[in-house]
A and B are shown apart, each in its own frame.
Chain A
Amino acid sequence: MSIVVWLVIVAAIAGIIIASLGGGETGLLFKAREQHGWLATAIFNPTSAGQKIFVMILAILLFVVIMGVILWAIDRPKVPLGVLVAGFLGPVVIALSGGLLWSGISTIIKSFQTFNSSGQSTGWAGFDNYTRIFTAANQNMLINTVLWIFLVPILATAFGLVYATLVDRTRFEAAAKALIFLPTAISMVAASVIWRYVYYQPSPSGKEQVGLLNALVELVGGTPQNWTTKFPLGTLALIVVMIWIQAGFAMTVLSAAIKAVPDDIIEAAKIDGATGMRLFWSVTIPTIRPTLVVVLTTVAIASLKTFDIVNVMGGNLPVNNIVANAFYNASSVQQPGWAGAYAVIIFIVVTPVIIFNVRQMKKSEAIR
């Protein structure tokens, strides 16, 4: 029997189990949650540290037991290939087809519907949710989104490349790289707090500046201002934060690529008389081009999906809005139709990148 059939059988069984567990107010889990004992509280509404740690250990044990049973069941000499593959791949197929594939399709359907205030569908809306997005009122948001997907990858990659080249094979290379790479480990919320003290609003006249940037502006004789409340200044200020986070990633990957440039190519170029900048532009850059493309697309996808910085730092002002943040705002005010349309737009922008990457993958598979 074909593997796909086995996987479908596994998914169907899982669906029946999940339906019997859930199934609205009468489901097993629902009944368990209604209980008021210590166990029910610990599992569904833990409040104390003890209950939280208990439910965490329970979750891990439950997972280990289920996986143990599955692996034990398929670990026999004469098990059909389909069952074997279903054992290894079944949980993943269920998680991805239910969690990403099905929910993606359902979001696309929702984006063509209208909803009442309690979140019930009230019929089809055609492209209304989409045309609503592409109006003059949202002009700033669309421009901001374009700025985010182009400026962040280009500038972060450029910074990473320049820095990787500057510190390459110097004595302080490891420490210098760690400094730039550190922001990658910091959450965007924490980064927003960090940059708050750079962009802090201007103080009233006569008082000293609290924000670093305004203090510097005053030092050189300029007028201090609100960096994050105007268009497009606010967006540019937030983009700087994202570049600050992403440059470390770009630098690390590009640095490895630079080190992998074959020595004989460099030597040949040197014999031909290329030095310094010439060498960099006509030998290093063309050689690491595949890596550059990968870094650019990865950072572009990351910035398209980023919502934390705009949400926390941008003060949710319309001048700083981007599609990912508009999605969050729409979903938090219970507008599934609008939120769906925003999510689909993110998906559409990302699609060419998917196609491009699948092609790249096939190419490198072929080389192998």
Chain B
Amino acid sequence: MTTTTPPMLVEPEGKVSARKLKAQLRAQEAKTKLSSPWASGLAIIIAILWTLPTFGLLVNSLRTTPGPTTSGWWKFWSNGIGFTFENYTNAWTGNGAQPLSDFILNSIIITLPAVFIPITLALLAAYAFAWIDFKGKNILFIAVFVMQVVPIQVALIPLNTVYVKLGLNTSFWSIWLSHTIFGLPLAIFLLHNFMKEIPGSLIEAARVDGAGHVRIFFQVLMPLLVPAIASFGIFQFLWVWNDLLVALTFSSQNTSPITKGIQQLTTQFGQQGNILPAAAVLAMLVPLAVFLSLQRFFVRGLLAGSVKG
């Protein structure tokens, strides 16, 4: 995600069909070339290797107690260990410990503002960088670009002292603020790339009609940017939902997200061995659902700044 390139331009009609034709021809050729048995075989082996660990977790999460810790999951059909959803209900209701439903609620509470706020701020900034001419624009943009690579570790301890001073520590506010700050540089960079691709004539036309920058931003650009916003939204969503470092640094027991919940379970493996796999599966469900349903957008977002089109 590090070079500015315009890969997503809509190409003129004729060119597309010519390209498509060529692609089809090549696809036919490729079929004969790549259906060589060893290539497909290798692809299938890699795919199985990649999926096997997750499959093992799924099987373990469904086995009756004390299934997961006395025999390997691949023995699930042999030694009389039955299947049950009890692990899931136990994990969800806590079974004595803090219920997982609490952690998932916290994750949702953390994620929604931590996706909405940085994207809005980044859209405004990206607009200014793309379509308002002012002195020092390039230097400021490079400064933002460089911020992308600053490791968040550098910022954690000073931020924490600020939150303590403001009285915001251990509340949701410190987590929202941190995710907003850490998400901004990449968001600005990617959204700026998308914005640059919108034809300048559109904006010129709006300006001739007397629209100011705020009007242009909301009425001309926003509707065109929906796919870009969706793609970066998923990006930011996965990053916030899956984060552990910010959660460990800033959250209290009351505001811990699901990742911290799982991390706590792993340190008490003895007693919680039965619900750990179920808890891990539950933690994966929301991001996987979001990811699978919006995969096309997400992949586009990944590609936005990185591939020569």
Contacts and interface: CB of A to CB of B under 8 A. Distances in A.
B109 A56 contact: yes
A18 B207 CA distance: 37
Contacts, number: 376
Contacts of A194: 53-54, 56-57, 280
B198 interface: no
A52 interface: yes
Interface stretch (A128-136, A146-154, A346-354): A346-354
A298 B1 contact: yes
Given A29-B168, A178-B295, A63 B2 contact: no
Interface string B163-184: 0011110111100111011101
B106 interface: yes
A263 B25 CA distance: 11
B132 A85 contact: yes
B124 A44 contact: no
A328 interface: yes
Q: Classify chain A's interface size.
A: 35 or more
B166 A212 contact: no
Interface in B239-287: 241-245, 248-249, 254-255, 259, 262-263, 266, 276-277, 279-280, 283-284, 287
B147 A96 contact: yes
Contacts of B3: 290, 294, 357, 360-361, 364
Contacts of A294: 1-3, 306
Contacts of B77: none
Nearest to A197: B56
Interface in A235-269: 244, 247, 249, 252-253, 256-257, 260, 263, 266
Interface residues of B, number: 128
B153 A186 contact: no
B142 to A, nearest CB: 6
B222 interface: no
B56 A193 contact: no
A22 B172 contact: no
Return the 7 tightest CB-CB contacts between A and B, nearest first. A99-B181, A187-B242, A103-B158, A22-B166, A88-B128, A185-B291, A75-B214
Interface of B: 1-7, 22, 26-27, 30-31, 33-35, 39-40, 42-43, 46-47, 50-54, 56-57, 60, 68-75, 105-106, 109, 112-113, 116-117, 120-122, 124-125, 127-128, 132, 134-137, 140, 142, 144-147, 149-159, 162, 165-168, 170-173, 176-178, 180-182, 184-185, 188, 212-215, 238, 241-245, 248-249, 254-255, 259, 262-263, 266, 276-277, 279-280, 283-284, 287-288, 290-292, 295, 299, 302-303, 306-309
Given A89-B125, A212-B73, A291-B306, 19 more contacts: A32-B167, A52-B105, A100-B150, A103-B156, A103-B158, A104-B150, A159-B46, A183-B50, A187-B287, A190-B259, A193-B262, A193-B280, A195-B53, A209-B72, A308-B245, A331-B157, A346-B151, A358-B146, A368-B4
